[in-house]
Structure 1
Amino acid sequence: MKLWGEITMNKKMGILGITLAAGFILGGCGTKAASTKSADSNVKTIVVGTSGMPKPFTYADENGKLAGYDIDTVRALDKELKQYKFEFKKTEITSVLAGLDAGRFQIGANNFGYNDERAEKYLYTKPTFQDWFVLVVRNNNQTIKQFADVAGKTTVATPGVNFTMALEKFNKTASTKTKITYSQEDPAKQVQDISSGKYDYALIDKPLFDAYKKEFKLTNLKGLDLSTSDEKKVTPRTPYSYLLVSKTDGGQQLVKDLNKAIVKIQADGTQAKISQKYFGEDYVPGK
């Protein structure tokens, strides 16, 4: 038979054991939480600016969530780069560039092509999309056959993009200027305005035009490929698309990290799947 003192002591020891065990468990949880928090504190938030057009490079889906080739590419890069957390900010295209200028955005994802003016202000990643350009006209148009023929003709264009800058440069030296109407409307609407006869032509990416022609059944339109010399009036380099990176502290390292991840997702087929998803073809650079 146990004496009362023994029973009391055993109970005390039992309670002490439970208390110590609970302490170890809670201590372990606290260590794990602290470790996670410590890891999270080393993750740098990167703000990615995009205008939400042109579709299918960047757009809001039926649920209001950003989607598109550029968006999915950035998300794939985010998965590869554990040291960063990418957050999207949707705004007008001119505000994307202004945000990069001011350092509010660290990345611009908007089907950006290369031009020398931008290269002075921003850092370019490795190319993310193989592009080429066309003049979009109605099938019955017999007056526009090459870039020089846009003189005296009407077009609609988005401010600040390569195509518009090329037309503005053309107007600086042309005796007869092309008539540009500036618009922040979706390029899909701009192409439809060519179809309706509101404007004479549009200068646009061929993959984009092909997607619009199919989606909106624009059977009365055709795309005229630019010659190599005319193509260089739009971009001095091979017509690729890139991500832009702000020239702020950490920009150079961010570009290096992005480039490493771009090589990875292009080599393992991730970006090819994204291209097939949005264009039905493989537009990965170098293919």
Structure 2
Amino acid sequence: MKKNAFRKIAVTLTCATILFTLTACGKKSEKEDDASEKGVTTITVATGNASLPFCYLNEDSKFDGLDVKLMEAIDKALPEYKFKFIGGDFPTTLSNLESGKAMIASFQFEVNNERKAKFTYGTVPYTDWDTFIVTNGDKGKALNTFDEAKGKKIYVTTGTNQAAMAENYLKEHKDAFTLVYGEYTNEQIVEAIKSGTVDATLAPKYSNDLFIKNYGVNFVIGNQPVNKSKAFILFNKKADVKLQKAVNDEMEKLKSDGTLLKLSKKYLGGDYVPKN
């Protein structure tokens, strides 16, 4: 009986030792995991989820597009940061940045006074965004200026620089044309112009090139833009200065090493990277 009792005690102690060892190992593993993440700061990046070819969800429901791949390339080069995307339409992306839900936003942002007051612009432009009036060539000639758009219905995406520039023109030329606001996809823009729901839209040359390539339409633009501009990323006003410098420096490198050009050719079909 005593031998059996000693055996039971020995077995109990052995089990306790094994359990303690496993528990200790588990705690060590958790600490190691914590240590591997130590010094890495997660940064939320606001972008679009349905704006081809800039920022959208692909067939695998993953973020894709020029703006997304640009931010992923920056993230890869900065091990001290981990970027996490949140998607939305254009106005939502701006509100996510303004509210602090995101510290960076990447969605082809042009410079205007309202945004300059609310956000901090990146220092490196990454896409030319000269704006043209896009019309259906099967229904008339190209329009070069807003003056030539008199009486037309022009689609603009809500909250964009294109909307702002057209609104500014209308302040001095009341009722010159009518603005139709929305959050249309490229396909919806094309259908609206083809059907005559609107007569025109405002877009950069490469957008019109994509309309023609992807939908087989005869859309035309004028021989001069109604506005010359470039696209930048935006930072929340409270974004860490170190983060801003790291991102801006890396964007400069990506421009110098040809990465921006590769992204432009892949997603926009040509070289639309600003030369300065």
Say which of 272, 275, 279 aligns to 2:264: 275
How do 1:235-254 residues align onto structure 2 when only pairs under 5 Å count?
239-250=229-240, 252-254=241-243
- Which range moves more in the overlay, 207-216 or 180-189? 180-189
Q: Does 2:35 correspond to 1:38?
A: yes
For residues 40-97 of structure 1, what are the alpha-carbon distances to aligned partners after superposition, in whole Å with 9 as ceiling and x for unaligned?
1311111111122421011111111111100100000000111111111111211111
Which amino acid in 2 is paired with 1:166? M
Return closer, same or farther for 1:117/1:225 CA change in 2, 3 Å cut-off: farther
How do 1:90-105 residues align onto structure 2 when only pairs under 5 Å count?
90-105=87-102
SS of equivalent to 2:206: helix
Which amino acid in 2 is paired with 1:49? A
How do 1:6-45 residues align onto structure 2 when only pairs under 5 Å count?
30=28, 34=31, 37-45=34-42
Partner residue of 2:274? Answer: 285
Distance in 1 (alpha carbons) for counterparts of 2:223 and 2:237: 34
> CA RMSD of the aligned region, Å?
2.3
CA apart distance, 1:135:
0.7
Distance in 1 (alpha carbons) for counterparts of 2:238 and 2:134: 38
Partner residue of 2:190? Answer: 191
Partner residue of 2:227? Answer: 231
Distance in 2 (alpha carbons) for counterparts of 1:114 and 1:224: 23
For residues 96-139 of structure 1, what are the alpha-carbon distances to aligned partners after superposition, in whole Å with 9 as ceiling and x for unaligned?
11111111111111111111221111111111212322111121
The two structures have a TM-score, normalised by structure 1, of: 0.80
Which amino acid in 2 is paired with 1:129? T
Distance in 2 (alpha carbons) for counterparts of 1:136 and 1:97: 26
CA apart distance, 1:150:
2.3
Which amino acid in 2 is paired with 1:55? L
Say which of 48, 54, 58 aligns to 2:55: 58
For structure 1, list consecutive stretches of 5 or more residues without a partner in the other structure. 1-18, 233-238
Distance in 2 (alpha carbons) for counterparts of 1:55 and 1:152: 30
Distance in 2 (alpha carbons) for counterparts of 1:243 and 1:189: 26
For structure 2, list consecutive stretches of 5 or more residues without a partner in the other structure. 1-16
Partner residue of 2:6? Answer: none
Which amino acid in 1 is paired with 2:255? Q
Partner residue of 1:260? Answer: 249
8 Å contact 1:147–1:226 — kept in the other structure? no
Distance in 1 (alpha carbons) for counterparts of 2:188 and 2:222: 19
Distance in 1 (alpha carbons) for counterparts of 2:89 and 2:227: 26
How do 1:4-153 residues align onto structure 2 when only pairs under 5 Å count?
30=28, 34=31, 37-125=34-122, 126-139=124-137, 140-142=139-141, 144-153=143-152
The number of residues matched between the two structures is: 252
Return closer, same or farther for 1:76/1:177 CA change in 2, 3 Å cut-off: same
Distance in 1 (alpha carbons) for counterparts of 2:35 and 2:150: 61
8 Å contact 1:133–1:225 — kept in the other structure? no
Return closer, same or farther for 1:78/1:249 CA change in 2, 3 Å cut-off: closer
SS of equivalent to 2:44: strand
Which amino acid in 1 is paired with 2:149? V
Q: Does 2:217 correspond to 1:218?
A: yes
Distance in 2 (alpha carbons) for counterparts of 1:224 and 1:177: 18
Partner residue of 2:10? Answer: none
SS of equivalent to 1:208: helix
Distance in 2 (alpha carbons) for counterparts of 1:143 and 1:209: 12
Distance in 2 (alpha carbons) for counterparts of 1:190 and 1:177: 21
Which amino acid in 2 is paired with 1:63? D
For residues 147-194 of structure 1, what are the alpha-carbon distances to aligned partners after superposition, in whole Å with 9 as ceiling and x for unaligned?
222232102221100001111111211133321121112144213311
Partner residue of 1:236? Answer: none
**Aligned sequence identity (%):** 28
Distance in 2 (alpha carbons) for counterparts of 1:37 and 1:94: 37
Runs of at least 4 residues off by over 6 Å: none
